[in-house]
């Protein structure tokens, strides 16, 4: 039973950053922005969160700094892709490069270290213990005692679903991706909708970044987003952006992530266990592609 609880908790920990990143990306997906900068936004968020938490000795300011850092990346994306009309794919790649370079540079510049920065001064995001639920035998260990950002992620799923499918903004958001000319001619600025979608993506990716650095490891390592932004992108494509689908597919990816960690104790080489999430992404893409063949798909390339 302990193994099962461990696996489920590993699944939740692995799923959280992917879920937050993918929910952010789903806004831009619906708005018709080809946004591949989630990886860079998460990485910047992770760095800024550590910086904020260390400088102000406060995890809450750390989260805010992470969101702010990610928002700066979103603003650069807006400047180039929306204002200057640079190709979105190229802007995204350049932003990811920029995030990778800037975090390494800032790591050296502000903390005088190379590679990784860990310090007891970094305050982690706390775990939340829910008073009564905690007492339930097995469920309590899963439902209670998770990291604060995990709960935020779970709430974000419902929030995103509500925003996209139940509000006027959501209707306009989907219209911007479905038929931009039509939306424009009915008097709504498509650019403004896309700007808002990118800002929302920035906030959620910042949270994902804060979780990566302050959630379970409490340090910053160069390139620590490790492809999570790309897996988020794959998740969005697999479920066509639907927030509930994203929650499900993120949990599946998270399960394989947790499984990889779990298998480390079994004598399988660590490199192979670390491969599991990427192989799972390929497998998911395989299932999706073979099932999709009949359906008309949104072209993403």
For other proteins, the closer CB: 76 or 122: 76
Q: Between 112 and 185, whose beta carbon lies closer to other proteins? A: 112
Binding mask 63-102 for other proteins (x = CB under 8 A): -------------x---x---xxxx--xx-xxxxxx-xxx
Is 301 one of the binding residues for other proteins (CB under 8 A)?
yes
Q: Is 296 in the site for other proteins (CB under 8 A)?
A: no
Where does this chain touch other proteins (CB under 8 A) — which range of 9-17, 63-71, 182-190, 221-229? 221-229
Q: Kindly tell me which of 108 and 144 has the beta carbon lying closer to other proteins.
A: 108
Applying CB under 8 A, which part among 57-65, 165-173, 193-201, 275-283 lies near other proteins?
275-283
Instruction: Compute the distance between CA of residue 265 and CA of residue 7 in angstroms, rounded to an integer.
Output: 13
Q: How far is the CB of 109 from other proteins (least distance, A)?
A: 6
Asked if 30 interacts with other proteins (CB under 8 A), we say: no
Q: Which two tokens stand for residue 281?
A: 């992404």
- Give the footprint of other proteins on this chain (CB under 8 A): 76, 80, 84-87, 90-91, 93-98, 100-102, 104-105, 108-109, 223, 226-227, 230, 233-234, 237, 269, 271-272, 274-275, 278-279, 281-282, 285-286, 289-290, 292-293, 300-301
């Amino acid at each position: 039973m302990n193994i099962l609880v461990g696996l489920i908790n590993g699944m939740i920990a692995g799923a959280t950053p992917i879920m937050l990143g993918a929910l952010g990306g789903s806004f831009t997906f619906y708005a018709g922005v080809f946004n591949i900068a989630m990886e860079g936004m998460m990485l910047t968020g992770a760095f800024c969160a550590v910086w904020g938490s260390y400088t102000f000795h406060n995890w809450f300011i750390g989260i805010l700094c992470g969101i702010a850092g990610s928002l700066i990346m979103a603003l650069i994306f807006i400047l180039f892709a929306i204002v200057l009309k640079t190709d979105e794919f190229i802007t995204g790649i350049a932003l990811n490069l920029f995030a990778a370079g800037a975090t390494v540079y800032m790591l050296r510049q502000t903390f005088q270290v190379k590679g990784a920065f860990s310090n007891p001064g970094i305050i982690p995001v706390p775990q939340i213990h829910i008073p009564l639920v905690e007492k339930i035998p097995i469920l309590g260990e899963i439902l209670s005692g998770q990291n604060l950002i995990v709960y935020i992620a779970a709430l974000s799923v419902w929030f995103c679903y509500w925003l996209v499918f139940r509000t006027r903004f959501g209707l306009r958001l989907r219209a911007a991706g479905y038929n931009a000319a039509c939306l424009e001619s009915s008097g709504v600025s498509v650019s403004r909708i896309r700007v808002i979608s990118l800002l929302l993506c920035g906030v959620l990716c910042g949270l994902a970044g804060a979780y990566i650095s302050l959630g379970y490891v409490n340090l910053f390592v160069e390139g620590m987003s490790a492809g999570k932004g790309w897996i988020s992108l794959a998740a969005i494509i697999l479920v066509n952006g639907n927030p509930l689908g994203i929650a499900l597919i993120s949990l599946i990816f998270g399960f394989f992530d947790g499984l990889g960690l779990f298998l480390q104790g079994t004598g399988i080489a660590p490199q192979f266990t670390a491969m599991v999430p990427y192989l799972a992404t390929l497998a998911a893409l395989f299932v999706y592609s073979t099932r999709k063949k009949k359906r008309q798909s949104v072209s993403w390339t």
